[in-house]
Structure 1
Amino acid sequence: MHERKALMMKLSDGFISLPGDPGTLEEFIEVYTWQKIGLHQKPCGLLNTLHYFDPLIAFFDHMVQENPERLLDELLNSSNIRT
């Protein structure tokens, strides 16, 4: 798994997570965390079709309220793949 993620990080220009399973969430959180701690500056996004990621975004908002870090500044969030 680590080798696949390392290759994904090396070859990707950015990351877009589509609605998926816990593995998808784990991969998104990892690359987003890497962005937040400065390991890369590649864009990270959520394709929020049918409001699938609304609870996750609400949780991020909650974390910002509790710890007012600029958590969501770089996160791309769209319900449309064309935007």
Structure 2
Amino acid sequence: YLKKLAGLDCLVIDEIGTNREISPREKDLFFTIINDRYEQLKPTILISNLSLRGEDSLEEFLDERTVDRIFETNTFVVFNWESYRGTK
């Protein structure tokens, strides 16, 4: 299954950090996916409500090696407006 994810033309991973807890095994699996795609130069879109750095961030949530790969190869688009769901 991991090889299939690594080989996709484009992979979108949504809701990163939603549950705010990730086991060491899950961090290793996430690194494997990101690293395999990194080595194959495959595009990966990551979606999260976490900030990039600091408290409550991707940097804090994920393994350091995974964050290094993500920060090295990605362009970040920050949407920081008020939640649409919160304004209904």
Q: TM-score, normalised by structure 2?
A: 0.42
Give the structure with higher Rg (CA).
2
Higher helix share: 1
Q: TM-score, normalised by structure 1?
A: 0.43
